Amino acid sequence: MNVLVINCGSSSLKYQVIDSETESVRAKGLCERIGIDGRLVYQPAGGEKEVTDAPMPTHKQAIQMVIDALVNEKTGVIKSLDEIGAVGHRLVHGGEKFAASAIITDAMIQTVEECSELAPLHNPANLIGVRACQELMPHTPMVGVFDTVFHQTMPQKAFMYGVPYEYYEKYAVRKYGFHGTSHSYVSKRAAAMLDKPYESLKTIVCHLGNGASVCAVENGKSVDTSMGLSPLEGLVMGTRSGDIDPSAVEYIAKKEGLDLAGVINVLNKKSGVMGLSAVSSDFRDLSAAAESGNKQAEVALSVFSYRVVKYIGAYAAAMNGVDCICFTAGVGENDAAVRKEICASLTYLGVQIDEAANAKRGEETVISTPDSKVKVLVVPTNEELMIARETVALV
Ligand code: ADP
């Protein structure tokens, strides 16, 4: 079956068509600047990448352009829309309402809408994508795959915040965690790579991309993760602050003359390694700047790695041990220097890195030495494949 996987944001949309039998990608791309001007990127398997600037005022028009590209006589990969057997949507926040992926129905959409208050930047945008697809493909079954689902196995001691209990009962204030699809995929791949049963492994997954989170996976279940009620908690990220003393919010608001929303906006969009370095949120720019002597870029990189090191230590403690540490996502898969710096602080766990293996990029690799007590792996993530698998399983 061909599965169309959609990851829809407020002004952009990523898509892939995956053949579920072979698990190969038949075409992929993205729509950018939806509602601004519009750009479609389309790449069929084994073909050239095409970039088309074209107006796409709405998500529906963007998805229509994707469909047109997919059925294009010359470069398309399907003859008609009938060849799409199902659509899998990435949905960010399922609150406590979803402990598994689900077929999209009107009732299901309503429940996701109820979770929107917890993810105002993500869920409404995800649902715009769902509705646009429903209008264009009214007879195609659709499935929602949540970022939060994998973490629903966290024990209460891990997901509660130390605030009045009634806030949990009344407002569902708790840690939810994100990047669940990635953490689930990577931890499973790690077990397969090590030829160990997934259900008997203690794994720490470091998903280090623009957004970044660490997850403790014990016996195949997420038992703790660094993101929280929202994707702002935890690691220092591209532009997000991660953990911060809540009192700093009030203090910054006063000093800068901002309201609460204003400070949260700064913590989401102008902080992280971008805010620290005043250079960029991109680690390639940061390393270049640090190498040419930019002190702030150096500070940003060291703060980033130090926070990861602390979370790894915390989760090794939480699981009373760790068998395997995985690096994934843009930085985790590609930045050997960041991995090296993080692992240099983990020798107390018995971590030893093989420099030659660590120099490889973008492929599944064991980067620890054969006698390293804890195995360290690079595992390229594949959230789209996970979404396609979940979709096929449900339809
Ligand atoms: P997201 O999906 O959260 O937007 P990604 O997982 O794609 O992010 O990661 C994007 C980040 O990965 C970039 O901002 C950049 O910092 C980093 N990155 C990508 N390629 C490289 C590379 N070759 N070396 C170092 N960092 C890289």
pLDDT digits (tens, 9 = 90+) for 352-377: 999 999 999 889 999 999 999 999 99
Q: Best of 281, 331, 340, 361 to mutate for ligand 1, by most ligand atoms within 8 A of CB? A: 331
pLDDT per position as a tens digit, 250-278: 999 999 999 999 999 999 999 999 999 99
Alpha helices in the chain, H assignment, sequence order: 59-71, 106-114, 123-136, 156-159, 165-171, 180-194, 246-256, 260-269, 272-277, 283-291, 295-318, 329-334, 336-344, 355-358, 383-394
- Quote the CA–CA distance of 272 and 255 in Å, as a whole number: 20
List the catalytic residue out of 19, 37, 106, 147.
Answer: 147
Q: Is the pLDDT of residue 117 over 90?
A: no
pLDDT of residue 88: 98
Structure tokens, 335:
């930045």
Please give the distance, rounded to the nearest whole angstrom, from the Cα atom of residue 381 to the centre of ligand 1. 12
Per-residue pLDDT, 120: 84
Q: How many CB atoms lie within 10 A of CB 10?
A: 14
Q: Are strands 102-103 and 142-146 parallel, antiparallel or unpaired?
A: antiparallel
Ligand 1 first shell, C-beta below 6 A:
209-211, 238, 281-284, 329-331, 334-335
- Give me the mean pLDDT over the 120-146 stretch: 94
Per-residue pLDDT, 159: 98
Question: Could you confirm whether 82 is annotated as catalytic?
Answer: no
pLDDT of residue 83: 96
The whole-number pLDDT of residue 121 equals: 80
The answer to whether 121 and 178 have CB atoms below 8 angstroms apart is no
Q: What is the mean pLDDT of the chain?
A: 96
State the distance from the centre of ligand 1 to the C-alpha of 113, rounded, in angstroms.
30
The neighbour count for residue 103, using CB atoms within 10 Å, is 13
Ligand 1 atom nearest to CA at 381: 6
Q: What is the pLDDT of residue 55?
A: 92
pLDDT value of residue 11: 87
Average pLDDT over residues 103-120: 93
Asked whether the predicted pLDDT for residue 10 surpasses 90, the reply is: no
Could you tell me the pTM of the whole model? 0.95
